[in-house]
Amino acid sequence: MDRGQKPHIAVRAVVEGEWTMTFYREGGTNSVRGYTYACVKASGGRGEDAKRIVALVKALTGEVPNINHLTSSPP
């Protein structure tokens, strides 16, 4: 994907659910960070959706991601 000078990679996986995952480089450490939102309308609710996201990230990276629970829903 060409979005100016920054490289972008799109990964499509067939799983139960659909997410948009955003990745970025963190300034000082230059480490790659990312986030996505679990959907309350997903099969099994937000908790089950979060489990599917964790499984996908673990399969892609080999690491279990940190989970942050927000008090408000994304727009």
pLDDT value for 15: 65
21-66 tens-digit pLDDT: 888 888 788 888 888 888 888 888 888 888 888 888 888 888 898 8
- Number of other CB atoms surrounding residue 56 within 10 Å: 18
What's residue 9's pLDDT?
A: 67
| Confidence class for position 1, pLDDT limits 50, 70, 90 | very low
* Domains in the chain: boundaries: 2-61
Mind listing the pLDDT tens digit for each residue in 2-26?
A: 455 666 666 666 666 677 788 888 8
Q: What is the pLDDT of residue 2?
A: 47
Q: What is the pTM (predicted TM-score) of this model?
A: 0.64
